[in-house]
Structure 1
Amino acid sequence: MGRAPRSRTAPLLAVALVVAAVLTGCAEAQRAAAPQLPERTCFGVFTRSDLEPLMGDGRTVTVSGPADARLTAQRRAATCNVDVDGRGRVLVAATRQPVGQSFFWPPTDQSEPAPEPLALGDKGILWDTGARVALTCKGAEDSFELELSLSGSVEHMKPGTSRALFSSLMAKYLESVKHQTRCGV
């Protein structure tokens, strides 16, 4: 009896699988690369390492907004956006208004999971995707209300870790903006 003919399909299939695995690995390596953030961003407040947990993967980082948050009666707001490949990752904002005008915050009792108070400023709130703080700045020459907010994309973070990050970021942001706006001076 003769030998059965060798199948060429098995070696070709093995080669195809190896090539596919290599190409998939290259694509994963490209996607997994963290984008390069500027050393300091968003009004000069945050360092690269502060915001890295919110960035995820991508190639191009775009930061838009003014260099500082020095709000005055004429310049009443400042916003900083950080995008990765055109997708919003971080939004940081500051708003100033005359004393006596309160900031409207929508009800939070319908949010899941429920937000919690944040012990910063006169009023603060913290939720899984951000934080907000309001305070009255009383100074010898100028008094005003100040609202600070920050939010970010938490899809790349370990569940349950985002509130601690946003609390820490807001504390740093609050101190810097109080200095920049001369709050209480």
Structure 2
Amino acid sequence: MRKARFSLAGVFMLAAAVTLTGCGEEKKKEAAPQLPERTCFGVFTQSDLEPLLGTGETVKVDSPADVRLTAQRPGATCNVYVDGKGRVLVTATRKPSGQSITWPPMDQNQPAPDSLPLGDKGIVWNTGARVAVTCKGSKDSFELELGISGSTDQMKPGTSRPLFTGLMTKYLDAAKQQTGCGV
């Protein structure tokens, strides 16, 4: 009979240890994944993109070091994945001067985008922002289209458009500098 009590006590201790271990794993999953100090062409910091990352264990960034676009390198893309799911997409496209930039239609089930007073033409919506700017320089002229989109499922309603506006403002400044826009 005494052996059964010790075995039963052992079972309870083991169950408690498993339960506590499970809690530790849940807390680990609730934490935001860590990004490099600078990411997406060296433009954004961890705190810039953190609202879009959500929770998870692993983060993968697929991005070139910069967004220095040329006629030979007309585009660049940065993807940030959390636990294998796409969370942030940052794009840049360089087009010949005078080529108009058109954006695909927005999802009719989403609220209409707002105008974004950046560049020559800009819009912001609940899951992203786009800006087009004509770059006229002494050596080269071209059209530059920038885009940012991300997962906003974990954000409070009404907070995503101001976030994307701030991110695009920062991105536009860095992209103009890196591409030599207006130089």
TM-score range, shorter chain: 0.7 to 0.9
Unmatched segments (≥5 aa) in structure 1 = 1-10
Q: Which residue of 2 aligns with 1:147?
A: 145
Larger Rg: 1 or 2?
Answer: 1
Q: Secondary structure at the match of 1:137?
A: strand
In structure 2, C-alpha distance between the alignment counterparts of 1:111 and 1:140, rounded to whole Å: 44
Q: Which residue of 2 aligns with 1:30?
A: 28
Aligned-residue offset at 1:108 = 3.5
In structure 2, C-alpha distance between the alignment counterparts of 1:161 and 1:17, rounded to whole Å: 42
In structure 1, C-alpha distance between the alignment counterparts of 2:85 and 2:70, rounded to whole Å: 31
Q: Which residue of 1 aligns with 2:82?
A: 84
Unmatched segments (≥5 aa) in structure 2 = 1-7
Residues 1:18 and 1:160: Cα distance change in structure 2 (over 3 Å) = farther
- Matches for 1:1-185 after TM superposition, within 5 Å: 22=20, 24-108=22-106, 110-185=108-183
In structure 2, C-alpha distance between the alignment counterparts of 1:26 and 1:138, rounded to whole Å: 55
Deviations 1:91-127 (A, max 9, x none): 0000001011112212338241111111100000100
**TM-score (ref. length: structure 2):** 0.87
The one-letter code sitting in structure 2 at the alignment partner of 1:128 is N
Q: Which residue of 2 aligns with 1:7?
A: none
> How much identity, in percent, do the aligned residues show?
65
Q: What's the Cα RMSD here?
A: 2.0
**TM-score (ref. length: structure 1):** 0.86
Deviations 1:27-48 (A, max 9, x none): 3212112111101000000011
Aligned residue pairs: how many?
A: 174
Deviations 1:133-168 (A, max 9, x none): 001001111000000000011111111101110000
Q: Secondary structure at the match of 1:102?
A: coil
Q: Secondary structure at the match of 2:49?
A: helix
